């Protein structure tokens, strides 16, 4: 398994290839479409993270000392960003997840989307991912 | 005929770039941009006139007070109020409605009824829920018809001698519907109910004449009518306002304070506790002058042209659905495109410089009625153009292509 | 050491003429003047950034929201609050106190007691009278000693397990007294009472650290601290604010609205219904930066020098009496001259360009205590100078000559 | 008896002689000091017109078809202005008082003092003077 740091490096590299916002957004849309679906039974009210505009469902499982996340959103762009976050954090150990510094966010120009003042639920989602990890870390 | 390109020049923000392209601002329902005269008035106030108002005997205090009160005069004229003291300055529409809903806590009893409608902004729902919770009064809701207009037949059935207040929007911020408030007022008055109108989306779009209209209470926000943020107006008839108890306690709203007994000042001061948004109130006068300079009728006519044009263009988009198709509409268009989330559309058109609003527009009951999580919304102001509508439609089409 | 002449250059209004002479502004307790950076921030906001905050997905909305929230961060740091969501934006101090006093309507019962003091501003009296009227709780008053300080012995006797809240000013706007709020807080907490501090006259004059201070609630107004009009802050501990019910209903303060059931948003949004004074909040950050740039300690030290100098000079006037001679005082001097009405003094010195306040300063109980209809009041800010004090004293002497 | 218009003309002339605010204020102060005192029994709560800063007492009597005003204030400058108003209106008929246009106020530079937004009680005093006249006019 690659480390969180490695994966972040690859993502930065991927995004480095784009010349403009359109390519970047198209990539996000593709990622969103390809995101492995969440099991229907996990798309519950309990797993719902409410942003103001797009809804995000997040589920976490602890398998062989690793945490596996699945998620969904009703907005495709949000789903694209979720796909990236899952590719970085899913399958990692609880400890490495709680310690993770997600500095790739700044470098790929998604800082705005992930600003705590934005109303898309993604910041709460990252927080929730870390809370799950923390819970399994004990 | 309005000279729109001359008007645009008065708004400095309209020449800024967003994401390297020209800003196309269609989020006027949320807040409008400000003309240079309004910006200058704030500037001049702080540079040359700043002082606390009322009570002071020194020059600046007198100057600031005079200018502050001139805005009250201007508003009185603008909305055709009978008395100057019927104009109360608030923080905004929300503040104004809360002031009234709080006052009605002492006027309502169990068994009384308050009527609002299904198309209200949360600001005209929640305060009444709180007021009814408190008093035991019942909240009744005028339902929406499928075209986004009020079901007036049901409204009339809801009215009874138990109805103490009807509070409805003049114009729906989510659907654009212009409600038949004259009819609502006259019917409500017949059963002895008071009427409050939420004019947040009307005041710079539709000519107002309080004495003709006959509403007991009417309110609006400066920031939605080319004016500064943090200023609103509550109009109420002398009689109605005198019947309401004071809202906030503090300086300026009292006649005499002792620990044994405090007596309250007359209108309008009774409702204006604390240091107001002086800069904002003073500059609001310039916004009013901007509007009256163009003429509200002319603005209404031009905005209606934009509405008709934009509606026709949007309907050409495949899979589009417009929410709110009532006969009487103001310049607001809410829509969705089949299979797409409004958030995604908003995000993408933004990259092309186009600012539209997406979401529930603080009108969740409307979203529930149409069974959507939200909509994309275009709302026009007098500085918008048909060319901008074209840019916007192009951007939406591009978003649609990228997302499909 | 502060470079006052450099500081003065940042305030455009200080170089204006009043009645053909230089403005000498000593009405800072009512409102301070604004530095260029604050004026520019408002200007830039309207020219380049204006948009409604929160909820919007387009560029300007994000920009305005980020800047709006940056002010919240700046305030958190400025007052040493533990959490960002403990900072609530209001219209001003009066609005903040009313928000809290309204909330305590659901926390107080008959037999409970609220303690305020005899030196409070009407804004910290009337809301509690209204709250006690409503709940049947009893309002107790800490008396003033002759020097204008609180009678702390009586205060301790007033405290009991019935005491649910103590609300006192940090600094008296009429007398300048700095109250021993640390002692008040620790004593009140011992009996389980909550403490609210009205910091309107303290926030730009005395260093603040909420976590050290331990107050449950603290509030102030931007316009009295070099910031824009129409903005205030209510600080409350997470625990205290969560215990208070929402105040105003509207947009932004809700999680979900339906006609059956409305649920409220988390802090700070629960208390921020409606479109806020966005321009004002954003520019408030620049005022905070102005203050921290100089250092509150340095400001306090310099203002104390001015206070000492002005006090000594005023006492040279024959027949003068200063109200408020407590050991711990901020830069506020209230006085009368035997046989003269403060209004007459204020009117005449104004003609010489000197702005002082006259009247009851919204503290009628203090006026009653000292048995005067009002006083003349000099209140200093960091841009005032000893030379200005000389001009002021000369003007007062001239007024005295004319009036005697 | 001179007409209201005549008296206003004289006052404008008087004030025309002053070069600066000081002379004008000194004159007002003198007028204030010389104002005929109000009868103590008329200095009642009922006759009190509350401005925010200076208190004004106003009493009116109807004698031989004319209205005689007496007044007082705790502030001397206010008293000076009152003295002028009384010199204009006292001793006139109810009808001429209710009809009076007090345009001298603008011309002698007291407009500021008599602006409706000023907190000295003078505007309310003029209003009250007219109300008395109106009452006696019926
Ligand atoms: C001690 C004190 N409390 C409260 C207030 C009220 O502040 P604001 O008018 O900004 O609401 C003031 C302002 O005069 C004050 O000095
Ligand atoms: C119809 C309507 N009512 C009330 C409001 C609330 O106005 P404000 O946020 O200025 O208080 C709005 C603004 O969105 C509105 O559109």
Residues of C in contact with D25 (CB under 8 A): 347-348, 351, 402
Percent of the residues in chain C that have a pLDDT greater than 90, as a whole number = 94
Mean pLDDT of all residues in C217-241? 98
Mutational test site, ligand 2, from B224, B227, B284, B360, max ligand atoms within 8 Å of CB:
B224
| Residue count (chain C) | 404
Mean pLDDT of all residues in B390-397? 98
Mean pLDDT of all residues in B330-347? 96
What pLDDT is attached to residue C57? 86
Domains of chain D: 4-136 (3.90.1010.10)
Beta strands C375-379 and A66-73, pairing class: unpaired
In chain A, what's the furthest Cα-to-Cα distance?
44
Question: What architecture is the C39-293 domain classified under in CATH?
Answer: 3-Layer(aba) Sandwich (3.40)
For B362, left (φ over 0), alpha (ψ -120 to 50), or beta?
left
Selected residue with higher pLDDT from D53 and C240:
C240
In chain B, what's the furthest Cα-to-Cα distance?
71
CA of C358 to the centre of ligand 1 (A): 16
Three-state DSSP class for B383? coil
In chain D, what's the furthest Cα-to-Cα distance?
44
Q: How far apart are CA C160 and CA C113, in angstroms?
A: 9
In tens, the pLDDT along C123-177 reads 999 999 999 999 999 999 999 999 999 999 999 999 999 999 999 999 999 999 9
Whether the per-residue pLDDT at A111 is higher than 80: the answer is no
Mean pLDDT of all residues in C293-318? 98
Mean pLDDT of all residues in B198-227? 98
* HEC profile of chain D: CCCHHHHHHHHHHHHHCCCCHHHHHHHHHHHHHHCCCCCHHHCCCCCEEECCCCEEEEEEEEECCEEEEEEEECCHHHHHHHHHHHHHHCCECHHHHHHCCCCHHHHCCCCCCCCCCCCCCHHHHHHHHHHHHHHHHC
Q: How far apart are CA B90 and CA B276, in angstroms?
A: 8
pTM of the model: 0.96
Q: Catalytic pick from A46, A52, A101, A117? A: A52
Cβ neighbours of residue B63 closer than 8 Å, sequence gap 6 or more? B49, B51
What pLDDT is attached to residue D123? 79
From C39, C355, A94, select the one nearest B51 (Cα to Cα).
C355
What pLDDT is attached to residue C227? 98
What pLDDT is attached to residue C220? 98
Query: What is the DSSP code (8-state) at residue A11?
Result: H
In tens, the pLDDT along D56-105 reads 899 999 999 999 999 999 999 999 999 999 999 999 999 999 998 888 88
Q: How far apart are CA B296 and CA B204, in angstroms?
A: 7
Domains of chain B by residue range: 4-30+296-403, 39-293
The pLDDT-based confidence of C363 (bands split at 50, 70, 90) is very high
In tens, the pLDDT along C86-136 reads 999 999 999 999 999 999 999 999 999 999 999 999 999 999 999 999 999
Contact A52 B341 (CB under 8 A): no
Chain C interface, best mutation among B23, B250, B255, B281, by max C CB count within 10 A: B250
Mean pLDDT of all residues in C14-38? 96
C63-to-A81, C177, C288, D111 alpha-carbon distances in Å? 21, 42, 20, 47
Q: How far apart are CA D32 and CA D26, in angstroms?
A: 10
Residues of C in contact with D26 (CB under 8 A): 402
Q: How far apart are CA B370 and CA C297, in angstroms?
A: 58
What pLDDT is attached to residue D136? 83
Q: How far apart are CA C365 and CA C125, in angstroms?
A: 10
What pLDDT is attached to residue D122? 75
The pLDDT-based confidence of B261 (bands split at 50, 70, 90) is confident
D66-to-C10, D10, D62, D96, D133 alpha-carbon distances in Å? 60, 21, 6, 10, 9
Tokens of C24: 């000498």
Beta bridge mates, C88? C234
From C67, C232, C46, select the one nearest B286 (Cα to Cα).
C46
In tens, the pLDDT along C371-381 reads 999 999 999 99
Report the Cα C264 to chain-centroid distance in Å.
29
Selected residue with higher pLDDT from C29 and A52:
C29
ipTM rounded to 2 decimals = 0.95
Percent of the residues in chain B that have a pLDDT greater than 70, as a whole number = 100
What pLDDT is attached to residue D117? 64
* Cβ contact B353:B23 at 8 Å: yes
| Binding pocket residue ranges, ligand 1, CB within 6 Å | B 251, 274-275; C 92-94, 121, 123-124, 169, 173, 198, 200-201, 221, 362
CA of C223 to the centre of ligand 1 (A): 10
B324-to-A10, B340, B343, C213 alpha-carbon distances in Å? 47, 19, 19, 54
Q: How far apart are CA C303 and CA C388, in angstroms?
A: 13
* Cβ contact C233:C202 at 8 Å: no
Whether the per-residue pLDDT at C191 is higher than 80: the answer is yes
Question: What architecture is the B4-30+296-403 domain classified under in CATH?
Answer: Alpha-Beta Complex (3.90)
Cβ neighbours of residue D135 closer than 8 Å, sequence gap 6 or more? none
What is the DSSP secondary-structure string of C268-322? TGGG--S---HHHHHHHHHHHHHHHHH-HHHHHHHHHHHHHHHHHHHHTSTTEEE
Mean pLDDT of all residues in B374-385? 98
Three-state DSSP class for B23? coil
Beta bridge mates, C129? none
Contact C38 B60 (CB under 8 A): no
In tens, the pLDDT along A30-56 reads 999 999 989 999 999 889 887 667 888
What pLDDT is attached to residue B240? 98
A57 as an active site residue: the answer is no
Q: Which of B33-47, C360-374, D104-118 has the lowest mean pLDDT?
A: D104-118
Tokens of C51: 């948009």
What is the DSSP secondary-structure string of B65-104? HHHHHHHHHHHHHHHT-S-GGGEEEESSHHHHHHHHHHHG
The chain-wide mean pLDDT, for chain C, equals 96
Whether the per-residue pLDDT at C347 is higher than 90: the answer is yes
From A108, A100, A105, A104, select the one nearest A129 (Cα to Cα).
A100
The pLDDT-based confidence of A124 (bands split at 50, 70, 90) is confident
Whether the per-residue pLDDT at C364 is higher than 90: the answer is yes
Three-state DSSP class for B382? coil
Q: How far apart are CA C155 and CA B29, in angstroms?
A: 52
Q: How far apart are CA D121 and CA A99, in angstroms?
A: 69
What pLDDT is attached to residue A51? 65
In tens, the pLDDT along C195-216 reads 999 999 999 999 999 999 999 9
Alpha carbon of B149: minimum distance to chain C alpha carbons (Å): 18
Question: Environment class of residue B297 by beta-carbon count within 10 Å: exposed (0-12), middle (13-18) or buried (19+)?
Answer: exposed
If you search the block for the tokens 């109303």, which residue do you land on? A119
Q: How far apart are CA C16 and CA C23, in angstroms?
A: 6
Contact C62 A50 (CB under 8 A): no
In tens, the pLDDT along B111-165 reads 999 999 999 999 999 999 999 999 999 999 999 999 999 999 999 999 999 999 9
Nearest to B251 among C58, C94, C246 (CB): C94
Q: How far apart are CA A8 and CA A25, in angstroms?
A: 18
Chain C interface, best mutation among A51, A52, A117, by max C CB count within 10 A: A117
What pLDDT is attached to residue A118? 67
Whether the per-residue pLDDT at C287 is higher than 70: the answer is yes
Phi and psi dihedrals of B267, rounded to 5?
-65, 145
What pLDDT is attached to residue D110? 78
Q: How far apart are CA C248 and CA C254, in angstroms?
A: 10
Report whether residue C274 contacts ligand 2, using a CB cutoff of 6 Å. yes
From B403, B375, B383, select the one nearest B7 (Cα to Cα).
B383
Whether the per-residue pLDDT at D119 is higher than 70: the answer is no
In tens, the pLDDT along A72-96 reads 999 999 999 999 999 999 999 999 9
B229-to-A51, A79, B224 alpha-carbon distances in Å? 25, 35, 8
* Cβ contact B118:B365 at 8 Å: yes
What pLDDT is attached to residue A116? 64
What pLDDT is attached to residue B300? 98
A93-to-A6, A83, B50, B377 alpha-carbon distances in Å? 15, 18, 60, 44
Whether the per-residue pLDDT at C244 is higher than 80: the answer is yes
Residues of B in contact with C347 (CB under 8 A): 57
């Amino acid at each position: 398994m690659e480390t969180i740091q490695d994966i972040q490096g690859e993502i930065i590299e991927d995004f480095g290839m784009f010349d403009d916002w359109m390519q970047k957004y198209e990539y996000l849309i593709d990622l969103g479409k390809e995101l492995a679906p969440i099991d229907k039974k996990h798309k519950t009210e309990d797993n719902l993270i409410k942003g103001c505009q797009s809804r995000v469902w997040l589920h976490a499982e602890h398998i062989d000392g690793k945490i596996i996340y699945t998620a969904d959103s009703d907005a495709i762009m949000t789903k694209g960003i979720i796909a990236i976050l899952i590719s970085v954090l899913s399958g990692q150990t609880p400890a490495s997840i709680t310690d993770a510094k997600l500095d790739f966010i700044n470098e790929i120009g998604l800082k705005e989307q992930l600003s705590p003042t934005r109303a898309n639920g993604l910041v709460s989602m990252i927080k929730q991912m870390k809370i799950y990890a923390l819970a399994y870390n004990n | 005929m309005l000279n729109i390109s001359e008007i645009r020049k008065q708004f400095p923000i309209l020449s800024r770039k967003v994401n390297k392209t020209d800003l196309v601002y269609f989020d006027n329902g949320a807040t409008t941009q400000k003309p240079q005269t309004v910006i200058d008035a704030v500037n001049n106030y702080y540079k040359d006139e700043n002082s606390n108002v009322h009570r002071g005997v020194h020059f600046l205090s007198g100057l600031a007070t005079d200018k502050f009160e001139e805005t009250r005069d201007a508003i009185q004229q603008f909305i055709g109020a009978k008395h100057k003291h019927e104009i109360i300055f608030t923080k905004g529409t929300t503040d104004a409605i809360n002031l009234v809903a709080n006052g009605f806590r002492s006027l309502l009893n169990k068994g009384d009824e308050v009527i609002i409608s299904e198309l209200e902004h949360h600001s005209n729902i929640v305060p009444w829920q709180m007021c009814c919770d408190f008093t035991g009064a019942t909240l009744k809701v005028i339902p929406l018809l499928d075209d986004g207009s009020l079901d007036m037949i049901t409204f009339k059935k809801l009215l009874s001698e138990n109805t103490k207040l009807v509070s409805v929007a003049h114009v729906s911020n989510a659907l654009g519907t212009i409600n038949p408030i004259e009819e609502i007022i006259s019917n409500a008055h017949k059963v002895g109910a008071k009427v409050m109108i939420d004019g947040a989306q009307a005041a710079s779009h539709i000519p107002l004449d309080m004495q003709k209209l006959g509403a007991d209470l009417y309110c609006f926000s400066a920031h939605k009518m080319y004016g500064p943020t943090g200023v609103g107006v509550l109009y109420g008839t002398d009689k109605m306002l005198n019947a309401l108890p004071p809202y906030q306690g503090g300086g300026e709203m009292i006649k005499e304070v002792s620990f044994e007994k405090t007596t309250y000042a007359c209108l309008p001061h009774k409702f204006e506790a604390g240091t107001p948004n002086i800069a904002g109130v003073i500059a609001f006068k310039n916004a009013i002058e901007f509007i009256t300079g163009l003429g509200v009728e002319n603005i209404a006519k031009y905005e209606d042209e934009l509405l008709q044009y934009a509606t026709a263009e949007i309907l050409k988009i495949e899979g589009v659905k417009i929410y709110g198709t009532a006969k009487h509409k103001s310049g607001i268009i809410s829509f969705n495109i089949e299979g797409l989330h409004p958030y995604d559309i908003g995000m993408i058109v933004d990259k092309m410089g186009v600012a539209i609003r997406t979401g529930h527009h603080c009108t969740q009951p409307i979203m529930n009625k149409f069974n959507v999580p939200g909509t994309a919304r275009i709302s026009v102001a007098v500085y918008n153009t048909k060319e901008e509508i074209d840019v916007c439609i192009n951007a939406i089409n591009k978003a649609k292509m990228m997302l499909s």
